[in-house]
Structure 1
Amino acid sequence: MTDPFGVLPDPNDDTPKYRPSLNPDDPIVSSLQKALKSSRVKSFELIDSRWNGNEVMKYECEDDKVYFVKMNRVEDPSVFVSEGVSLSALAKTKTIKTPIPLHIGKLPKVGDIGPGSFMVLEYLPLVPFGSMRPDNQVKLAQNLAELHSSKVHDELHKGRFGFPTSNFLAVTPLNNTWCGGWSEFFSRRLNDQLNRLHTEKAYGPAVLPTTNTPLDQKGTIILNSLNLLLGSDHAQITPSLIHGDLWVGNTGATKAEVVVFDPAACFAHSEFELAIMNMFGGFEDTFWNEYYRLMPKAEGFETRAKLYAFYHYLNQLNLFGDSTVAKQCDDIATDLVNTLNEINIKNEFQ
């Protein structure tokens, strides 16, 4: 999968780059008025800005229509197309609220930056820290359990793991080609992360310039014994639609309901969703107690939780190359290899 991300611009510099305006010829303004039939745009404001260059704006029109607009000055429109497909898939389950994608367009290249793209979304009046309220933590747990149990897409996935489109975890490209079993799909995902450690990215050099490092060696052992770590019933794992990037920063709430956004959806093991949620925190005991009441932990859960955490820590290492994260990856890999040794010893005496 081609990396569609260019070199990310520093948002604080004064380098020539596309800047939103109220000019009728502005690509965002034009799309609101022409594609979405809104009246004249009267204002816009920055709502959120993230490290990968994504910015979320609020646009208001004179006919009282309001929109979220998510833009990136260096992304190909295909990135937002894949996100839009994820949002639509989640929305179709009617289990958890997401902003509805309305339009995707291109941003011009200005100076050396671009071209980029943008996505217009349904505006949702989010309450500050709304998803952190105890009652909303319970609602989120209930909604997520309903999502993971939904049968709406059974005819789409047909028992397979993957997704109709590839997508991105932050700026990491994800191969969602359909696989018949979870072990095969997750093995490919994990192998991609391990290989990416040695790949130069548009946003930085390879994390590990040499191959066959201790982390590589442990990663190979884990890949070769993946079925043991997934558990004896791994072949019975069934696909659930997951959000795919559900850290607390991708949750919110209106006065009426909990909201999730910025997904990287796929049909996967429902437990895979939980790893990134545990990694970054922000989900309280009220959430976990309710979720596990509705979706009880299956045998082997703790080992799989470490395995899925390993994947997400590898992704963080690939994104940022941080030495602290590198140690966390190595510690988890060591723990998983030790677990495999214990399983093998146990099997010898059975």
Structure 2
Amino acid sequence: MDPLALLRKAGLEAQGPAVPLHGGDVSRVYRVGAYVVKLSANPLPGLFRAEASGLGALAERGLRVPRVHWVGEEGLVLGYLEPGPEDWEGLAEDLARFHRRREPLYQAAFGFLGPFPLPERVGGDWTEFFYLRCVEPLLRATWDRLEGLGPKVEALFRKPLPAEGPAPLHGDLWRGNVHFAREGPALLDPSFFVGERGVDLAMMRLFGGFPRRFWEAYEASYPIPEEVRRALPRYQVYYLLVHVHLFGRGYLEALWKAISAS
């Protein structure tokens, strides 16, 4: 299906030609006037609905996200956010406020990290929750490519992770999922669940990370305890495992560094 056909199916009027946008490794993304249309040649069941649900969860908790106009198994139609100036300090304040929220319990609906499906899980001890919901499925998927690192990953989660309390998470918060819109900072492509904020903080430090002015503003609003800071490499293992799964052994060195730093 092409983006104009999807807009017609959604009952929305195309307001111009379909212009390709950068869309990562899972979807083809187009701007069509006031809309952004996301499609996949072979969509994973539930992928677009999980993204729409995650965007709704972020919006309900006060973060700026694109409006969801329509979602189906074939694709997703979002509102287009006009680009604006970078505002790292504003983003820091938004995320600090978001991470300060306390939810009733650790909880995750069936969802995805990129194209990797993750199971539903509710409640329990944080270390067990994070290992069973996030790490173990990826560990099983990548075990044969880890060149002996699998048992070392398992050992990381035999000691408890620090727990400040259940907080909402974007879940895949790298630089590419930040969009500075005209109205202010916005977030894209969540892998939403309720966990510990260290999960988001860990991804925000990978692959180039966020700039110093962001971290200075974030810590001024919501300081990071040393025990949380020390746990960040263990959370990074989660994201590095999915990169091994998707892109291969080139990420084993980074995985080993995260294990060694834990």
What TM-score do you get using the length of structure 1 for normalisation?
0.69
Residue aligned with 1:51, SS: coil
Contact 1:218–1:334 (Cα < 8 Å) also in 2:
no
* Contact 1:310–1:329 under 8 Å retained in 2: yes
Unpaired runs of 5+ residues, structure 2, are none
1:255 and 1:71 mapped to 2: Cα distance? 25
Structure 1 residue 222 corresponds to structure 2 residue 160? no
Distance 1:29 1:216 in 2: 45
Q: Does the CA contact (< 8 Å) of 1:87 and 1:263 recur in 2?
A: yes
Distance 1:270 1:190 in 2: 16
> What's the % identity of the aligned pairs?
25
Q: How many residue pairs were aligned?
A: 261
Task: Note if contact 1:77-1:118 (Cα within 8 Å) is conserved in structure 2.
Answer: no
Matched residue, 1:346: none
Q: Structure 1: which 5+ runs fail to align? A: 1-17, 61-65, 107-116, 199-205, 337-350
Determine if contact 1:77/1:105 at 8 Å carries over to the other structure.
no
How far apart are the structure 2 equivalents of 1:162 and 1:145? 20
Which is higher, the Rg of structure 1 or of structure 2?
Answer: 1
Residue of structure 1 in register with 2:253 after alignment? 327
Q: Is the 8 A contact 1:77 1:104 kept in 2?
A: no
* Superposition map of 1:170-319 within 5 A: 170-188=114-132, 189-198=134-143, 207-208=145-146, 214-223=148-157, 225-227=158-160, 230-231=161-162, 234=163, 237-319=164-246
Moved segments of 4+, more than 3 Å: 18-21
Q: Deviations over 1:262-297 (max 9, x none)?
A: 000000101110111110224111100111111112
Q: 1:191 to 1:42 in 2, by over 3 A?
A: closer
Q: Tell me the SS of whatever aligns to 1:49.
A: coil
Structure 1 residue 76: Cα displacement: 3.4
* Distance across 1 between alignment mates of 2:153 and 2:182: 45
Question: Aligned equivalents of 1:125 and 1:138: distance in 2?
Answer: 19
Which residue pairs with 1:30 in the alignment? 8
Cross-structure match for 2:60: 92
Shift of 1:332: 2.5
Matches of 1:253 and 1:329 in 2, distance apart? 30
Paired letter, 1:145: A
1:97 and 1:281, CA in 2 relative to 1: closer, same or farther beyond 3 A? same
1:149-204 C-alpha deviation (Å, 9 max, x unpaired): 135xx4xxx2x2122x2111111112231122211211212222221213xxxxxx
Partner of 2:88: 137
Q: Deviations over 1:47-84 (max 9, x none)?
A: 223223x1221123xxxxx2111111111351110111
CA distance in 1, matches of 2:69, 2:2: 21
How many angstroms apart in 1 are the aligned matches of 2:148 and 2:249?
17
Tell me how large the CA RMSD over aligned residues is: 2.0
